[in-house]
Structure 1
Amino acid sequence: MKLWHQLGVSVVLTSFVALGAPQFAHAQNVIKIDGSSTVFPIAEAVAEEFQISKKGKVRVTVGIAGTGGGFKRFCRGETDISNASRPILKEEMQACAAAGIKYIELPVAFDALTVVVNPQNNWVKSLTAADLKKMWEPSAQGRITKWNQVRPEWPAQPLVLFGPGADSGTFDYFTEAVNGKAKASRGDYTASEDDNVLVQGVESNKNAIGYFGYAYYIAHKDKMRAVPIVNANGKEVLPSIQAVNDGLYEPLSRPLFIYVRESAAARADVKEFIQCYLTEGAELAKEVGYVPLPAEAYRVALKHFADGKLGTVFGGVPEVGVTIESLLAREGKL
């Protein structure tokens, strides 16, 4: 059974991968992965496929410490692969360099970062970047506390906010895209690195609004409503695979990554796992609700891995609105 379709059962998924299914209990090799909860569904799906194909010879563990938490472990040499919903930052690059950790950066999918409200919310028809900023900018803390303070035609009901915590790459990307600076956000909201906590919060409160990866919305779309985002051309666009592919869902469309430690990449089991990831990953990304990269992008990424192309194409600085094709053409920086 393909458990990754049931994202709501986070304990089952995490336990399956972290502890290993019974047939993998005596596995000799272990590939350790941690990081983004957004990337988790793809990594978990690939891990399950790979473990089945290896018939118990390799076990893959996948954690959800958040992008920032995952990089902390990665830069200490505790994990082989780090899941990331934003690129590695300058301070994380420095921590890895100080520990002698070199890495290969590989894009694996696109995500439509999704803003959601409770189904009983009948007043929000769409949101602009200005609306989102008014809700989430640092100066909103303790001040913007009701819906009618965002737009006067909305009801004077409490504005109940749910969002990722500070270790989340989703938090970093959203704040960069909406507030113009990564990590610049009000702090008086319910925060969690576990997207399922955010899902449950929005499901249970009529006045709630939150944001997280598209896969978590898809898994719970009967219990919440995605809000169309007004793009730069003034068009109201719902998150979808097609909208991301067409470049219409912006500024909340973003690439997702894995980072492979150079010393781990030399191992046969990790090489086989990455081969599986970049050949099977497109279909699995689509199955869990994300947008696969173009076929050529996976081929280029696989070549970069085979060639041992080290570093990041971002240089430690987050960017909004870049394309995968442009990223793959850049030179990496350590």
Structure 2
Amino acid sequence: MKLPLHSFLVFGLVFYAGFGDAVAQNTGLLGKVAIDGSSTVYPISEAAASGFQKQYPRVKISVGVSGTGGGFKRFTIGDTDISDASRPIKDSEFAAARKTGVNFFELPVAYDGLTLVARKSNAWLNQLTLDEIKKIFLAGSAAKTWADVREGWPAEEIKIFAPGTDSGTFDYFKEVVVGKSGGSLRSDMSTSEDDNVLVTGVSGTPNAIGFFGVAYYEENKDKLKSIAIVNPKTGDPVSPTATTIENGTYAPFSRPLFIYVNSDSFKRPEVRKFIGYYLQNAPKLASSTGYVALPASIYREAMMRCRMGKSGTHYLTPELEKRSGPVTDIYQLDNLLK
């Protein structure tokens, strides 16, 4: 469901009323903002940085790509102001932040659909069930060729291009495919933290398969095709679109994307103003980079976390067990763990 433009305009006015301070009209604002983390979230943060720097050219914003896990390693020792993440913070990362005294705001910024892709010219790989995905990707699987996955498919070796193990996309995919079995993904995949390398690999290799965020597929539709996923509940094949990602029918590969903001960094005018710009513009930043805007209520809640100083994660219980479910259910103040 796309909200009318005036809903976002009203949200923006309310947002800036909450973030108004002495720097609101200060074109002389200066400073530095350090961002690192997810390659999936990178296009959104880079677009936010670019737009913000047009208004505040004396603020220097660096946006790195070391993967979600790599970003959290830097973030939890206070080395960055903002960490891009394509999954919620893990219990071990949360514990590391606690140990070093790093408090943070957890801010959802968009929906993504983790997209499985094949070469554009591939005429037979059109859809997959979750069981078939497990045959392809699980370590120890007997499937070595495509014919082992489904009868009638070619007896050609399965070649896989996947995000690196520091990637939140890798973690999310593993969580869905492996589940609670304690297994692992194949170790013979060609991996990279750079999604553009994966695009080149899949598009240049006959009979290859890969996966990454939907934005990189949308950006490379001339070279790639998306593979529909058979919804486990309905049995219908579903392709990743703005509608199916938002309504959850693109299951089980729809997910929220996040930025994590160091609460001490947020006290600096340049960081505070940048986060205000980011959240106000998040709906159009998401859509312009190939992702899907969250409900306006989520952006309002994110703004309130910052205004009220409500730091912590919503995705871990007090026992540090993971919470899962729709972002609209989890992103509630009652679930906040500091």
Shorter-chain TM-score above 0.5: yes
Separation in 1 of the partners of 2:73 and 2:308? Answer: 26
With over 3 angstroms needed to count, the CA separation of the structure-2 counterparts of 1:286 and 1:230, relative to structure 1, is: same
Q: Look up the match of 2:241.
A: 240
Structure 2 residue 141 is the aligned partner of structure 1 residue 145? no
Unaligned runs of 5+ in 2: 1-27
Separation in 2 of the partners of 1:238 and 1:286? Answer: 17
Structure 2 residue 320 is the aligned partner of structure 1 residue 328? no
Separation in 2 of the partners of 1:249 and 1:197? Answer: 25
Q: How does 1:137-286 map to 2 (within 5 A)?
A: 137-140=138-141, 143-181=142-180, 184-231=184-231, 232-286=233-287
Task: Give the partner amino acid of 1:207.
Answer: N
Task: Give the partner amino acid of 2:240.
Answer: P
TM-score by length of 1: 0.88
Separation in 2 of the partners of 1:113 and 1:197? Answer: 17
- 1:37-91, Cα deviation, whole Å (9 max, x unpaired): 000000000000011111x221110000000000000011110000000011011
Task: Give the partner amino acid of 1:153.
Answer: G
- 1:186-235, Cα deviation, whole Å (9 max, x unpaired): 11100111111111101101111000000000000110100110012101
**CA shift for structure 1 position 27:** 8.9
Q: Is the 8 A contact 2:76 2:100 kept in 1?
A: yes
With over 3 angstroms needed to count, the CA separation of the structure-2 counterparts of 1:69 and 1:312, relative to structure 1, is: same
Q: Look up the match of 2:40.
A: 38
Separation in 2 of the partners of 1:295 and 1:49? Answer: 21
For the residue of structure 1 that corresponds to 2:264, the secondary structure is: helix
- 1:274-297, Cα deviation, whole Å (9 max, x unpaired): 111111111011011001011121
**CA shift for structure 1 position 184:** 2.5
Count of aligned positions:
305
Separation in 2 of the partners of 1:92 and 1:186? Answer: 25
- Runs (4+) of structure 1 exceeding 4 A deviation are 316-320
Separation in 2 of the partners of 1:326 and 1:51? Answer: 34
**CA shift for structure 1 position 308:** 1.4
**CA shift for structure 1 position 101:** 0.8
Q: Is the 8 A contact 1:176 1:183 kept in 2?
A: no
**CA shift for structure 1 position 318:** 4.8
**CA shift for structure 1 position 314:** 1.1
TM-score by length of 2: 0.87
With over 3 angstroms needed to count, the CA separation of the structure-2 counterparts of 1:150 and 1:297, relative to structure 1, is: same
Two-structure CA RMSD over aligned residues (Å): 1.6
Separation in 2 of the partners of 1:30 and 1:183? Answer: 42
Separation in 2 of the partners of 1:256 and 1:245? Answer: 13
- 1:309-334, Cα deviation, whole Å (9 max, x unpaired): 111111155555x2221122142113
With over 3 angstroms needed to count, the CA separation of the structure-2 counterparts of 1:200 and 1:319, relative to structure 1, is: farther
Separation in 1 of the partners of 2:217 and 2:187? Answer: 23
For the residue of structure 1 that corresponds to 2:250, the secondary structure is: coil
For the residue of structure 1 that corresponds to 2:127, the secondary structure is: coil
Q: Is the 8 A contact 1:116 1:209 kept in 2?
A: yes
Identity rate, percent = 45
Separation in 1 of the partners of 2:195 and 2:323? Answer: 23
Q: Look up the match of 2:315.
A: 314
Q: Is the 8 A contact 1:87 1:318 kept in 2?
A: no
Separation in 2 of the partners of 1:119 and 1:325? Answer: 35
For the residue of structure 2 that corresponds to 1:284, the secondary structure is: helix
Q: Is the 8 A contact 1:34 1:64 kept in 2?
A: yes
